[in-house]
Amino acid sequence: MAGLEELKKKLVPLFDAEKGFSSGSSLDPSDSYMLSDGGTVNLLSRSYGVYNINELGLQKCTSRPVKDVDETEKTYQCASHEMRIFGAIGSGASSVVQRAIHIPTHRIIALKKINIFEKEKRQQLLTEIRTLCEAPCYQGLVEFYGAFYTPDSGQISIALEYMDGGSLADIIKKQRCIPEAVLSRMVQKLLQGLSYLHGARYLVHRDIKPANLLVNLKGETKITDFGISAGLENSMAMCATFVGTVTYMSPERIRNESYSYPADIWSLGLALFECGTGEFPYTANEGPVNLMLQILDDPSPSPPKDVFSPEFCSFIDDCLQKDADARPTAEQLLSHPFVTKYEDSKVDLAAFVRNIFDPTQRMKDLADMLAVHYYLLFDGGDEFWHYAKSFYNESSTFSFSGKESIGPEDIFSTLSNIRSTLAGEWPSEKLVHVVEKLQCRAHGEDGVAIRVSGSF
């Protein structure tokens, strides 16, 4: 109890004796939504315009003078009926994430589903969609493909790049720490993403942590989860809300002071300390009050100088300055010796990620998804059948009953004839009766060869 009383004295604006810790006010008090008779959700924000979302996709309508091309109206065609949903990837306090295939492109994506009828979740949804619309495709940030509304469930689904290597949190669960050379190459991409968020979009992420730093089997590292990011009017503006994960929160945020981009730098430094050393530097299992007192009162953690390189220690020390003004920017950190040290080295990030996770099992999972997707196209209606053509390129071959077809047009014509013949013989039955066996192996640089045995 003494620790709680001590913290309350330090955090008077933050703590309410009856209600506990305040989560802060929302970014925009007028943020709300309307649901039209036609099934379109209008997410309203006085500051950032209107986002119209229905079963066919998302349209952003600006409500303020356009200063650059990124603030103009945007449309994302991403329809609910074009998704083939598979199993869940994970879930959190405000959302569920599922794997899916976008039928027109055959792209495997991550679908993040959020219920719009809960105010807190709706505010996070609006923030995330706004952030993703402003930075839809930039190195170091998970790519945004669009969003759609499903009236039956009252959920909005956000379509995101599928990162098949998991997160840095997953990696350090499997392997206690990440080697410096690998971490350096990963950090460069993360800093590029943060530099863009801070310098070009005036956004503070506010929840940088290992679980929100994702990797794919190509070795690319990207930032995700923008549900509580905050928009600032310019590079000098400040935030004044208490949201995010306390574990990686900067001292100025814990003190409930105004904060800005340096708060993300502290969180990144703490996350990298954990990934590099294999240990979180504070005692986190004695409750949030004790943890916050440690962050405020203890000296900033520093990696052991006799174990880690001077460059890594210097990088962490720079990020974990108690004085926010003393922390370098993301752009400045891109020139730090820890980042530049391994620029010309042949660090194989893809090989590192593949050694952590079983690529054979992941390849099998993806092969299963693609095979199911392919045969459901074959079995389905004519609305989507024409998309099967894009499975093939000019060098593709297909053999059936002694006849060889070459290229997408020829193969699609042959398959269409087979499909029509089978449908004529069994008009009320599924065309693909049994998939008996599925085999897969790596093919080329990034491909997979899938062999399916079965019967029509």
Take residue 80 and report the two structure tokens written for it.
């609910």
**CATH 1.50.10.10 given to domain 359-455:** no
pLDDT attached to residue 128 = 78
Cβ within 8 Å of residue 107, ≥6 positions away: 101, 145
**pLDDT tens column, 405-455:** 999 999 999 999 988 887 766 555 565 556 677 788 877 766 778 887 766
Of 4-8, 195-199, 245-249, the poorest mean pLDDT is in: 4-8
Return the domain boundaries, the chain.
31-161, 168-356, 359-455
- Provide the pLDDT confidence category of residue 72 given band limits of 50, 70 and 90: low
- The fraction of the chain above a pLDDT of 90, given in percent, is 37
> Which alpha helices (DSSP H) does 34-167 contain, by range?
119-134
The per-residue pLDDT for 37 is: 59
Domains 31-161 and 359-455 share a fold: no
Strand partners, 213: 223
* CATH of 31-161 among 2.60.40.1930, 3.30.70.100, 3.30.750.210, 3.30.200.20: 3.30.200.20
pLDDT, one tens digit per residue, over 327-350 is: 999 999 999 999 999 988 889 999
pLDDT at 272: 98
- The CATH label, of 1.10.510.10, 2.60.120.10, 3.40.1000.10, 2.40.440.10, for the domain at 168-356 is 1.10.510.10
CA dihedral over 110, 115, 118, 119, signed as positive or negative: positive
Active site residue 207: yes
Q: Which residue ranges make up the annotated binding site for ATP?
A: 112
CB count within 10 Å of CB 355 equals: 12
Residues 6 or more apart whose CB falls under 8 angstroms from that of 25 comprise 241
pLDDT in tens, 96-124: 889 999 999 999 999 988 887 776 677 77
Binding residues, as ranges, are: 112
Q: What is the pLDDT of residues 176-216, one digit of tens each?
A: 899 999 999 999 999 999 999 888 878 888 889 999 999 99
Q: Give which of 148, 85, 75 is closest to 114, Cα–Cα.
A: 148
How many residues belong to the chain? 456
Rg for the chain, CA atoms, rounded? 25
- Proportion of the chain in helix, strand, coil states, percent, rounded to 5: 40, 25, 40
Catalytic residue among 207, 297, 298, 368: 207
Q: Which residues pair with residue 455 across a beta bridge? A: 434
pLDDT given at position 372: 84
* Nearest to 27, CA basis, from 234, 239, 263, 253: 239
- Ranges 142-151, 176-185, 190-199, 293-302: which has the least confidence: 142-151
Q: Which residue has the higher pLDDT, 403 or 326?
A: 326
Q: Residue 106, CB half-sphere, CA atoms under 13 Å: how many?
A: 19
Contact 81, 59 (CB under 8 A): no
